[in-house]
């Protein structure tokens, strides 16, 4: 079989070398050994080719004969040269278009592995890949006779090793050329060949580590593709999700074998945000925020604000505002909360958040833009526009060129309708809150029990007691069940025996049981201090006075109306007036 090699290339020398240089080249190449995974037969075949090349070139007669043959192969004939020169411009010399050919060498099949090793030493990885793949099927069990059974398995193994190594080296070259996806394809090709034949687990690990380190570059390259290349961009997102899963989140402690620590990975996430759309970032970071992850939650807020503002969907801004409320327990996000409140028309809330802000530079800018206004609303509007454009929209590939105008946002009919309904709902919630002042509430309030809050009754109860001069108050409520809010009136109940245990003399069990009996019933009209009791311990009512409830509720309703917020049109007037 013929291979694209010559004796000069085998020894790594030029035809003009001296005898001393020839000897040194042969000595050096003989000392160099290939990877330890190769078999002894492969190393021996390589040595045979080196010795054959040295034998031919070290003898002057054989060298002269070989040089004549060698030059005839690599240089074109005179007739070919004349034909090529006639097709070229006359002002160009013949040397500029001489076709340089590649010399070949005829070797026996058992020396193929040795030739592949030499080509690999010369950096001819593409030739190794081509020759190895084209000859691999010739050494399959079906292509080789039974007499070569001892020769077949090891030769095939060495060829597979040569192809895998060539694929790995080509992958590294493509990586240096910043062709990351092509590098990954070549690496996967070599890895699959080794896995299919269950060979060289150490080399498999090496290739796998290379692919893991290459993955962040692949993700950036795939996500940077045009929006029309949906398949490639989808592949990039899948690789990113797999990487996040292995790391156990953006700020997780997992190992994805990429070599990136937490700080490097955060910079990587910040870099790839510019290649993702607003919707894609919301999908990815909302899923990561559920791990939970504070970093992912904060990035999800940016995506929600961006989509809510650009698509005129204030509901997304409300969702981002809720996430910021949770983040406020760990870090100061008052400025972001103030901007969200501004976009929802909650000017008073925005001013309150500004008072909690700790960013001196931002506050200075807001005060400067307010120009002596009674509040900081005008400056916040100016800052909000700049913040959305530079800090939010600039990190989304579909919004980087999008214009930002609060005037257009608040003038949108859908936004006005939503915020008008939001203002009405806020007033109703405020009214309910005012009506519930002074009413016992359980912290675990459930929606299914909201209707129960008006089913309570204020009553005076008869409470039996054995010690009427030692009492404390208790709230008694009727109706409902579970976690409910009820109207209740405190009534005194007997003090538990264990509360005065230190003052009581030690008595027998029979005396204590007799003392715990309740033979006397006393009616208490004026309660002193409220104390809630579980619903299971509510005492049936004997005398009720529903007229007390009906007299007190209208008074509370009237007082609560005095604390209503202004109507929403006043909010719009204030915001639009601040925008000029």
pLDDT in tens, 191-211: 999 999 999 999 999 999 999
Q: What is the mean pLDDT of residues 93-113?
A: 67
Same-domain status, 354 and 407? yes
Residue 350 lies in a domain: yes
Query: H or E element: which one contains 62?
Result: helix 60-74
The model's confidence at residue 517, banded by pLDDT at 50, 70 and 90, is very low
The model's confidence at residue 571, banded by pLDDT at 50, 70 and 90, is low
Residue 285 lies in a domain: no
Same-domain status, 349 and 395? yes
Residue 512 lies in a domain: no
Nearest to 5 by CA among 79, 61, 66: 66
- Mean pLDDT score across all residues of the chain: 76
Lowest mean pLDDT among 139-153, 320-334, 338-352, 500-514: 500-514
Residue 124 lies in a domain: yes
Q: What is the mean pLDDT of residues 406-416?
A: 93
Lowest mean pLDDT among 119-133, 225-239, 298-312, 426-440: 426-440
Residue 119 lies in a domain: yes
Same-domain status, 472 and 579? no
Locate all alpha helices (DSSP H) within 177-253, ordered by sequence: 180-197, 201-223, 230-247
Cβ–Cβ < 8 Å for 119, 165: no
Same-domain status, 437 and 454? no
Give the side-chain half-sphere CA count within 13 A for 536.
Answer: 1
Same-domain status, 34 and 162? yes
pTM: 0.68
pLDDT reported for residue 568: 52
Same-domain status, 425 and 457? no
**Structural domain that includes position 203:** 2-87+95-212
pLDDT reported for residue 552: 45
pLDDT reported for residue 567: 52
pLDDT reported for residue 455: 42
Same-domain status, 400 and 360? yes
Same-domain status, 421 and 525? no
Distance CA 194, CA 168 (A): 12
Query: H or E element: which one contains 559?
Result: helix 546-561
> pLDDT tens for residues 50-90?
999 999 999 999 999 988 887 776 655 444 444 544 554 44
The model's confidence at residue 141, banded by pLDDT at 50, 70 and 90, is low
DSSP secondary structure letters along 375-425: SSHHHHHHHHHHHIIIIIGGG-TTTTT----HHHHHH-HHHHHHHHHHHHH
| Secondary structure class of 265 (helix, strand, coil) | helix
Residue 504 lies in a domain: no
Same-domain status, 122 and 208? yes
Residue 546 has pLDDT above 50, yes or no: no
Domain count, the chain: 3
Domain finish residue from 212, 230, 255: 212
pLDDT reported for residue 414: 92
Residue 141 lies in a domain: yes
Domain finish residue from 192, 212, 232: 212
> pLDDT tens for residues 377-388?
999 999 999 999
DSSP letter for 466, please: S
Q: What is the mean pLDDT of residues 400-411?
A: 92
Domain finish residue from 185, 212, 239: 212
Residue 217 lies in a domain: no
Same-domain status, 328 and 179? no
The model's confidence at residue 476, banded by pLDDT at 50, 70 and 90, is very low
Same-domain status, 378 and 474? no
Q: What is the mean pLDDT of residues 487-493?
A: 35
Same-domain status, 466 and 374? no
């Amino acid at each position: 079989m013929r291979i694209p090699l010559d004796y000069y290339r085998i020894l790594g020398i030029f035809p003009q070398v001296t005898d001393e240089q020839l000897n040194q080249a042969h000595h050096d190449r003989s000392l160099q050994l290939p990877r330890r995974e190769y078999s002894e037969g492969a190393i021996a075949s390589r040595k045979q080719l080196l010795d054959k090349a040295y034998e031919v070139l070290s003898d002057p007669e054989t060298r002269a004969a070989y040089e004549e043959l060698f030059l005839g192969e690599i240089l074109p004939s005179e007739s070919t040269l004349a034909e090529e020169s006639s097709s070229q411009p006359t002002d160009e010399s013949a040397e500029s278009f001489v076709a340089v050919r590649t010399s070949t060498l005829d070797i026996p099949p058992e020396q193929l592995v040795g030739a592949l090793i030499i080509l690999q030493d010369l950096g001819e990885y593409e030739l190794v890949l081509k020759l190895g793949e084209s000859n691999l099927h010739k050494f399959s069990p079906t292509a080789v006779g039974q007499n070569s059974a001892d020769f077949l398995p090891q030769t095939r193994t060495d060829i597979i090793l040569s192809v895998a190594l060539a694929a790995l080296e080509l992958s590294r070259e493509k990586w240096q050329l910043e062709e990351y996806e092509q590098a990954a394809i070549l690496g996967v090709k070599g890895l699959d060949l080794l896995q299919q034949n269950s060979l060289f687990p150490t080399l498999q690990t090496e290739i796998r580590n290379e692919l893991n380190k290459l993955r962040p570059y692949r993700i950036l390259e795939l996500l940077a593709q045009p929006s029309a290349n949906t398949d490639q961009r989808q592949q990039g997102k899948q690789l990113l999700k797999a990487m996040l899963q292995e790391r156990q989140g953006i700020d997780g402690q997992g190992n994805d074998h990429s070599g990136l620590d937490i700080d490097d990975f955060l910079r990587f996430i910040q870099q790839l945000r510019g290649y993702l759309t607003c919707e894609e970032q919301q999908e990815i970071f909302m899923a990561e925020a559920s791990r939970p992850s504070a970093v992912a939650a904060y990035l999800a807020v940016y995506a929600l604000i961006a989509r809510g503002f650009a698509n005129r969907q204030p509901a997304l801004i409300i969702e981002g505002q809720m996430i910021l409320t949770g983040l406020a327990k760990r870090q100061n996000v008052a400025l972001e909360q103030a901007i969200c409140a501004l976009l929802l028309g909650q000017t008073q809330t925005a001013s309150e958040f500004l008072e909690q802000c700790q960013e001196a530079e931002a506050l200075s800018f807001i005060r400067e833009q307010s120009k002596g206004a009674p509040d900081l609303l005008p400056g916040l509007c100016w800052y909000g526009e700049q913040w959305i454009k530079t800090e939010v929209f600039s990190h989304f590939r579909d919004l980087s060129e999008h214009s930002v105008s609060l005037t257009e946002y608040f003038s949108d009919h859908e936004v006005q309708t939503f915020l008008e309904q939001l203002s009405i709902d806020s007033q109703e919630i405020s009214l309910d809150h005012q009506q519930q002042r002074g009413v016992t509430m359980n912290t675990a309030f459930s929606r299914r029990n909201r209707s129960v809050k008006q089913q309570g009754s204020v009553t005076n109860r008869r409470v039996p007691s054995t010690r009427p001069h030692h009492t404390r108050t208790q709230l008694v409520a009727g109706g409902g069940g579970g976690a409910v809010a009820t109207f209740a009136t405190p009534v005194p109940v007997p003090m538990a025996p264990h509360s005065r245990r230190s003052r009581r003399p030690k008595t027998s069990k029979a005396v204590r049981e007799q003392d715990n009996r309740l033979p006397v019933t006393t009616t208490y009209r004026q309660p002193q201090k409220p104390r809630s009791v579980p619903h299971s311990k509510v005492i049936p009512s004997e005398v009720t006075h529903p007229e007390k409830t009906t007299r007190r509720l209208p008074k509370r309703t009237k007082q609560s109306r005095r604390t209503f917020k202004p109507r929403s049109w006043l909010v719009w007037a204030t915001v639009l007036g601040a925008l000029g």
